[in-house]
């Protein structure tokens, strides 16, 4: 009983992204932000009044059945649909992310990144910095354990991206890649050293499965100046800002199920096609597979293996 009394004194309100519809005189449907709606077969008017009262702490002139209100609060609280009154000032995307993210999808880190460090420059880097500032995300020049490195390129600059990947893995620092390649926005992988596949794993696996390995190898080692660069424009700039900001917010919030480590996401801005390519960690990756501390095989073992 005291639990519900405390609930009444906490200025709790209905989640701002929740609504309801009265079907008829008896039935009412509570429509949750995640799409799992609940239909009540009776007390439609009383439930509607209770939900209206919960929409704001200032709704004091609505007649509410106390027993209905008590049961409704218990249900809403179990669904995470009762929030503090000031929660309505939180950005709508952050609120939706809080509902969709799951703790089971989180990967353990010593500490979740709290700031962003940039590697690379160009139009995409400038757009991302501006968008993150508007979202009140901290940007720092210090590459320490509390920052997430964002490696950004206006083209598929393999040399730059590979170097950024190797440096981050060596320093045990999480890194996210964002670039414009083959007329698409490419996000990922989000690399957590010692836990997920790295960019080199992705390149090696792509090369290994290619029907034209010689051509792909030449492309991945060629001069980046020959690759088309991102030019932008109203539509592309807004899309780029939204895509990378969304991804960064999921990481800083600890929602790694939404951030998708070990995934490369390619977004076609014309057809709005989104392709997710999962990457398995390469056992013999020369970057993220730590072989320095492993004991070397003896001469006898090597001869035995050949025999």
pLDDT digits (tens, 9 = 90+) for 202-211: 988 888 887 8
Please state, in angstroms and rounded to a whole number, the distance separating the CA atoms of residues 202 and 196. 11
Q: What is the pLDDT of residue 104?
A: 46
Please state, in angstroms and rounded to a whole number, the distance separating the CA atoms of residues 64 and 123. 55
Mean pLDDT of 171-189: 94
Instruction: Provide the percentage of residues in the chain whose pLDDT is more than 90.
Output: 51
Confidence bin at 199 (pLDDT 50/70/90): very high
Does the pLDDT at position 34 exceed 90? no
Q: Could you tell me which residues are beta bridge partners of residue 139?
A: 116
The domain spans of the chain are 2-89, 103-278
Confidence bin at 33 (pLDDT 50/70/90): confident
Longest dimension (CA), the chain: 88
Superfamily covering domain 103-278: NAD(P)-binding Rossmann-like Domain (3.40.50.720)
Confidence bin at 303 (pLDDT 50/70/90): very low
Q: What is the pLDDT of residue 8?
A: 53
Interval 244-265: pLDDT, tens: 999 999 999 888 888 888 899 9
Interval 97-106: pLDDT, tens: 877 755 544 5
Confidence bin at 6 (pLDDT 50/70/90): very low
Does the pLDDT at position 295 exceed 80? no
Interval 139-163: pLDDT, tens: 998 777 789 999 999 998 999 999 9
Confidence bin at 233 (pLDDT 50/70/90): very high
Mean pLDDT of 26-38: 89
Please state, in angstroms and rounded to a whole number, the distance separating the CA atoms of residues 136 and 75. 34
Average pLDDT, the chain: 84
CB within 8 Å of 90: residues ≥ 6 apart: none
Q: What are phi and psi of 19, to 5 degrees?
A: -140, 180
Q: Could you tell me which residues are beta bridge partners of residue 267?
A: 185, 274
Closest CA to 169 of 60, 296, 286: 286
Q: What is the pLDDT of residue 3?
A: 43
CB within 8 Å of 247: residues ≥ 6 apart: 176, 178, 187, 190, 259, 265
Please state, in angstroms and rounded to a whole number, the distance separating the CA atoms of residues 73 and 65. 12
Does the pLDDT at position 62 exceed 50? yes
Class of domain 2-89 (CATH, top level): alpha beta
- The answer to whether 117 and 93 have CB atoms below 8 angstroms apart is no
Q: What is the pLDDT of residue 102?
A: 52
Q: What is the pLDDT of residue 224?
A: 62
Interval 68-116: pLDDT, tens: 999 999 999 988 888 888 876 778 888 888 777 555 445 555 568 889 9
């Amino acid at each position: 009983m005291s639990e519900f009394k405390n609930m009444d004194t906490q200025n709790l309100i209905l989640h701002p992204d929740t609504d309801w519809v009265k079907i008829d005189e008896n039935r009412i449907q509570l429509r949750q932000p995640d799409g799992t709606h609940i239909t009540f077969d009776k007390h439609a008017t009383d439930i509607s009044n209770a939900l209206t009262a919960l929409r704001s702490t200032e709704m004091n002139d609505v007649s509410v059945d106390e027993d209905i209100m008590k049961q409704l609060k218990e249900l809403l609280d179990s669904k995470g649909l009762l929030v503090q009154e000031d929660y309505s000032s939180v950005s709508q995307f952050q609120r939706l992310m809080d509902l969709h993210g799951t703790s089971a999808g989180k990967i353990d880190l010593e500490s979740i990144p709290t700031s962003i460090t940039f590697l690379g420059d160009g139009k995409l880097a400038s757009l991302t910095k501006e968008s993150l500032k508007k979202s009140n995300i901290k940007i720092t020049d210090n590459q320490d354990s509390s920052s997430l490195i964002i490696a950004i390129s206006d083209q598929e600059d393999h040399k730059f991206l590979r170097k950024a990947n190797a440096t981050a893995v060596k320093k045990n620092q999480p890194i996210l890649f964002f670039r414009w390649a083959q007329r698409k926005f490419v996000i990922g992988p989000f690399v957590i050293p010692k836990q997920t596949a790295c960019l080199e794993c992705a390149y090696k696996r792509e090369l290994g499965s290619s029907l034209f390995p010689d051509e792909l190898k030449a492309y991945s080692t060629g001069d980046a100046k020959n690759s088309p660069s991102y030019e932008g424009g109203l539509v592309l700039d807004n899309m780029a800002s939204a895509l990378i900001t969304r991804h960064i917010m999921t990481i800083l919030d600890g929602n790694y199920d939404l951030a998708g480590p070990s995934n490369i996401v390619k977004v076609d801005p014309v057809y709005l096609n989104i392709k997710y390519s999962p990457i398995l960690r390469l056992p013999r990756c020369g970057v993220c597979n730590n072989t320095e501390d492993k004991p070397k095989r003896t001469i006898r073992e090597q001869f035995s293996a050949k025999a």
